[in-house]
Amino acid sequence: MRVLVFFRNTLYYNNGDAVFNILQLTTAFQGGGLCDRSRSFFYKDHLHKIKVPTLALAGDQDLICPQKLDGQAYSKGFGYLKVFGEPGGPHYGHYNLVGGYAATDQVYPCIIEFLSLHDTA
Write the pLDDT tens digit of every residue in 44-92: 788 778 888 888 888 888 877 766 655 565 556 557 888 899 888 888 9
Give the C-alpha separation, 62 to 72, whole Å: 15
| Strand partners for 82 | 57
- Residue type for position 111: I
- Residue 105 pLDDT greater than 60, yes or no: yes
Q: What is the pLDDT of residue 7?
A: 41
- Residue 99 pLDDT greater than 70, yes or no: yes
Mean pLDDT of the chain: 75
- Residue 118 pLDDT greater than 60, yes or no: yes
DSSP 54: E
Give the C-alpha separation, 26 to 83, whole Å: 23
DSSP 45: G
Q: What is the pLDDT of residue 12?
A: 38
Of residues 12 and 53, more confidence is placed in 53
- Residue 9 pLDDT greater than 60, yes or no: no
CA Rg value for the chain: 15
Contact 107, 95 (CB under 8 A): no
